[in-house]
Chains A and B, each alone.
Chain A
Amino acid sequence: MRYEAPSTTREASALLANAKGKAVVLAGGTDLLARLKSGDIEPDLVVDIKRIDTTQSIKRMASGFRIGASVPCVEIGRSAALKRAWPGVVEAAQLIGSDQIQGRCTIAGNLCNASPAADSVPALIAAGAKASVVGTAGRRTVAVEKITTGPGKTSLGKDEIVESINLPKRPPRTGDAYLRFTPRTEMDIAVVGAGVCLTLNGKGEVSKARVVLGAVAPTAVIVADAANAIIGSRLEDSALAEMAAACEAACNPIDDMRGTIEFRTDVSGVLAKRAAKIAYQRAGGK
């Protein structure tokens, strides 16, 4: 195995493109190193992207936020501006692992690792985040939901790197939230995760919504029927019940020691309701 730590994304993607055998990107390494150690993957080349300037910071721009792909989640938690704009995304990023893991893990790595239970992903999708992807052919911007295609699988080419995750400017009267269920409060993997982002009209009715579930299907799922169930409502009980039913219908979970199919399905509706209420409040709804 060869280790390279280039200083530009262009060099990094050239290294990946020209690699003989298997080449992998290294960000925080909190997924990758365990897989290296277990022999689950045996790459010929590891390209560390943490020395690339453009991946190292959180930038606030007129169009929103640009979170560099090697910014560890602990720094996302320290960004007051980001917390004010997208508290759901920040909370989701901060749920990942312990303080030790927070010091390394990145949201781009969380996305590209393509675990169905990745905590930041439903929150990012709900907020309308986009990935800025660089390859030998240039740059493209892709909606976050287009990156993961199945457990451990992404739509990225061999030479492609996510350089940053971009969040839009928060629209007026908009709020987001992410909640997960885990048997243990800390250091556990989501049994179900629910991300919700809502926009209200001047009358306090939901005018736009996005409801995204994690850990209940091979990838995070955008539940359009759940969003439609609350659009036009002020989250009255009947609308919330309809939303929960739509979430349950969208679940296609696994059965394992941490949660049965029945449990995961049921909890998806409960969490989506709770997350929607938080998002509604954050959007200024009463």
Chain B
Amino acid sequence: MSAVQVSTTVNGDAIDFVCQPTETLLDVLRNRLGLIGSKEGCGTGDCGACSVTVDGQLVCSCLVLGAEAEGRKIGTVEGLADGDKLHPLQKQFIDNAALQCGVCTPGFLVAAKALLDRNPNPTEQEIRYALAGNLCRCTGYDKIVRAVNAAARDVRKQQARKKR
């Protein structure tokens, strides 16, 4: 097997790595780059626990080869917080108790951020559709939807403040 050399950007940092051609981006993030926020729930695109963005587009990192990251911009849950300052989504997930075991949480956060980036004022239905690719075995989803709704409000407030 011939290893592949890859230059990419992860959460704004330029990163080079070498991986096997069969390794997924999720494998690379977790096993080579130490970014263990993204989780493997299924490995088949069904659960969304491995959600990341590639060039701003939400994807399942278990369905992307590490080699495909060449020259792309990867965003993971580790890039959500601004230093010690949690993203409104992270804060609202805590405040709304939108997690129990937490395995699904990074995926939900990344998917919800992709939603809010494109639509900072989603309806409940839009939130539920946007998160249909993320499975949670613990919470029953309701608290997750409420947390996203509350975070959307916070994000809109932040944006309004920035405009002033």
**Which residues of A are interface residues toward B (Cβ below 8 A)?**
1-3, 5, 26, 28-30, 33-34, 36-38, 46, 48, 50, 72, 74, 97-101, 103-104, 185-187
B132 → chain A, closest Cβ, in Å?
A: 4
Residue pair B58, A100 in contact (C-beta under 8 Å): yes
Residue pair B44, A50 in contact (C-beta under 8 Å): no
B147 → chain A, closest Cβ, in Å?
A: 18
Q: How many A-B residue pairs have CB under 8 A?
A: 86
The 4 A-B residue pairs with the shortest CB-CB distance, nearest first, are A98-B133, A186-B132, A3-B21, A103-B57
Chain B residue nearest in CB terms to A185: B132
Residue pair B43, A99 in contact (C-beta under 8 Å): no
Neighbouring A residues of B70 by C-beta, 8 Å: 5
Residue pair B64, A104 in contact (C-beta under 8 Å): yes
Neighbouring A residues of B57 by C-beta, 8 Å: 72, 74, 103
Chain A residue nearest in CB terms to B24: A33
Chain A residue nearest in CB terms to B115: A99
A270 → chain B, closest Cβ, in Å?
A: 24
B45 at the A interface (CB under 8 A): yes
The contact size tier of chain B is: 20 to 34
B144 → chain A, closest Cβ, in Å?
A: 15
B1 at the A interface (CB under 8 A): yes
Residue pair A100, B43 in contact (C-beta under 8 Å): no
Chain A residue nearest in CB terms to B64: A29
Neighbouring A residues of B60 by C-beta, 8 Å: 30, 100-101, 104
Residue pair A30, B21 in contact (C-beta under 8 Å): no
Q: Which of B22, B62, B115 contacts A1 (CB 8 A)?
A: B22
Neighbouring B residues of A2 by C-beta, 8 Å: 1-2, 21
Chain A residue nearest in CB terms to B1: A1
A24 → chain B, closest Cβ, in Å?
A: 12
Residue pair B59, A36 in contact (C-beta under 8 Å): no
Neighbouring B residues of A38 by C-beta, 8 Å: 44
Residue pair A99, B21 in contact (C-beta under 8 Å): no
B94 → chain A, closest Cβ, in Å?
A: 24
A250 → chain B, closest Cβ, in Å?
A: 31
Neighbouring B residues of A104 by C-beta, 8 Å: 59-60, 63-64
Neighbouring B residues of A30 by C-beta, 8 Å: 45, 60, 63
B35 at the A interface (CB under 8 A): no
B45 → chain A, closest Cβ, in Å?
A: 6
B46 at the A interface (CB under 8 A): yes
B68 at the A interface (CB under 8 A): yes
Neighbouring A residues of B133 by C-beta, 8 Å: 97-101, 186-187
In chain B, residues 37-77, which have Cβ atoms closer than 8 Å to a Cβ of chain A?
Answer: 43-46, 48, 51, 54, 57-60, 62-65, 67-68, 70
In chain B, residues 1-33, which have Cβ atoms closer than 8 Å to a Cβ of chain A?
Answer: 1-2, 4, 21-22, 24
In chain B, residues 135-160, which have Cβ atoms closer than 8 Å to a Cβ of chain A?
Answer: none
Beyond known contacts A98-B134, A101-B60: 20 more, CB 8 A cutoff:
A1-B1, A2-B2, A3-B67, A5-B67, A29-B64, A29-B65, A30-B45, A30-B60, A33-B45, A33-B62, A33-B65, A37-B24, A37-B43, A37-B62, A48-B67, A48-B68, A100-B51, A100-B133, A186-B133, A187-B46
In chain B, residues 98-132, which have Cβ atoms closer than 8 Å to a Cβ of chain A?
Answer: 111, 114-115, 129-130, 132
Interchain Cβ contacts under 8 Å between A and B, 26 examples: A1-B1, A1-B21, A3-B21, A3-B67, A5-B67, A33-B62, A36-B22, A37-B24, A37-B43, A48-B67, A98-B48, A99-B58, A99-B111, A99-B114, A99-B115, A99-B133, A100-B58, A101-B60, A101-B63, A101-B133, A103-B57, A104-B60, A104-B63, A186-B129, A186-B133, A187-B133
Q: Roughly how many angstroms separate A187 CA and B46 CA in the complex, as a whole number?
A: 8
Q: Which of A5, A26, A100, A185 contacts B45 (CB 8 A)?
A: A100
Residue pair A3, B4 in contact (C-beta under 8 Å): yes
B39 → chain A, closest Cβ, in Å?
A: 14
A148 → chain B, closest Cβ, in Å?
A: 22
